[in-house]
Structure 1
């Protein structure tokens, strides 16, 4: 058998279906950062985000075991859609819309760090991320959601359009206007990142 971390998502799913739980562990490990970051940016509560992340993989497991997985070659967008729907369901249950707010918990951006930085670089990075989060909070929800899904979840515009149930042109427009609004805020507040 090949080394498990060299297999693509579809091969891992096939392996998991045949009873190898280590294949599922590899899928979770491979996609956890993008999924969890997207969830926490939507719900702004690390404990709730952890619950939704776990619920996402419970649904993934149930769907694969029931042989209902049909997203060949598109595992991450499929899992992101499940996570997004669970976030929406949560906010429907509590009868309010999801609003991204600045959170004191700075750990969310640790997953974006690819190399060790000095303490000064880490502080500057944290401050920059905080500024971006504060500015994101000021954007209209539709623009904020597209920017998060594109830059933090690394989804294509087609995937974003499918996930948010709008046309690709609408998703592109929301991204464009969101970035224009962010640039305006940076200019008005004299923020340099």
Structure 2
């Protein structure tokens, strides 16, 4: 069977069974796309090479730990890792807005001194999209409480009244929403803060 015909998931399995050449095939197959993506963001060949190598070091470590479970979605998973490494690069090398919490229930506040650069905009945009996607994955009752608390800035008393539950239930739903979001963040290697 030619390498082009072997699906990514099969190559991942072969690599996990000890075939180094399966990993080489995966890297070769997706190198151009991942490399081009990284270069389009950092505009520097040396930095692109470093991030590309870091990306596949992270891929190898994750595979060897047995934590990869995105069967059939290898490229999007690797692109996500590359994207996060690009964001890390900008955070390390530029003055990035810090993401802090005022209290336990605010996900982040953006503090910046002046205008946001293109990289800042890209990172901030991605953080907002990531948070929205995380919220969309929550069970409906948790999503409702989180949305009211974060985006509508309602108190837990107001949330309890609006949803016809006790304050303790509203607090519990918020707590579970944050726990579930943290699980998704950890599972998918999503970086929301530095």
Q: Residues 53 and 83 of structure 1 are in contact (CA less than 8 Å); yes or no, is this contact kept in structure 2?
A: yes
Unaligned segments of structure 2, at least 5 residues: 97-116, 134-194
Q: 1:59 offset after TM fit, Å?
A: 0.5
How many residues align? The count is 113
The alignment's C-alpha RMSD in Å is: 3.0
Distance in structure 2 (CA, Å) of the matches to 1:10 and 1:95: 37
Structure-2 residue corresponding to 1:65: 64
Unaligned segments of structure 1, at least 5 residues: 98-136, 147-160, 169-193
Q: Residues 35 and 83 of structure 1 are in contact (CA less than 8 Å); yes or no, is this contact kept in structure 2?
A: yes
Structure-1 residue corresponding to 2:76: 77
TM superposition outliers: structure 1 runs of 4+ over 4 Å: 161-164
**Residues 43-62 of structure 1 deviation map (CA, whole Å, 9 limit, x = unaligned):** 11110001100110011011
Structure-2 residue corresponding to 1:51: 50
- In structure 2, do the counterparts of structure 1 residues 72 and 88 end up closer, same or farther at CA, with 3 Å as the change threshold? same
Structure-2 residue corresponding to 1:107: none
TM value normalised by structure 1: 0.51
Distance in structure 2 (CA, Å) of the matches to 1:72 and 1:163: 27
* Structure 2 residue 164 is the aligned partner of structure 1 residue 165: no
Q: 1:34 offset after TM fit, Å?
A: 1.0
- In structure 2, do the counterparts of structure 1 residues 95 and 141 end up closer, same or farther at CA, with 3 Å as the change threshold? closer
Q: 1:95 offset after TM fit, Å?
A: 3.1
- In structure 2, do the counterparts of structure 1 residues 96 and 37 end up closer, same or farther at CA, with 3 Å as the change threshold? farther
Q: Residues 13 and 24 of structure 1 are in contact (CA less than 8 Å); yes or no, is this contact kept in structure 2?
A: yes
Distance in structure 2 (CA, Å) of the matches to 1:21 and 1:89: 28
Structure-1 residue corresponding to 2:25: 26
**Residues 71-130 of structure 1 deviation map (CA, whole Å, 9 limit, x = unaligned):** 111111110110111111111112335xxxxxxxxxxxxxxxxxxxxxxxxxxxxxxxxx
Q: Residues 81 and 163 of structure 1 are in contact (CA less than 8 Å); yes or no, is this contact kept in structure 2?
A: no
Give the structure with higher Rg (CA).
2
Q: 1:5 offset after TM fit, Å?
A: 2.9
Q: 1:32 offset after TM fit, Å?
A: 0.8
* Structure 2 residue 90 is the aligned partner of structure 1 residue 91: yes
Q: Residues 52 and 83 of structure 1 are in contact (CA less than 8 Å); yes or no, is this contact kept in structure 2?
A: yes
Structure-2 residue corresponding to 1:13: 12
Q: 1:19 offset after TM fit, Å?
A: 0.8
Distance in structure 2 (CA, Å) of the matches to 1:7 and 1:38: 24
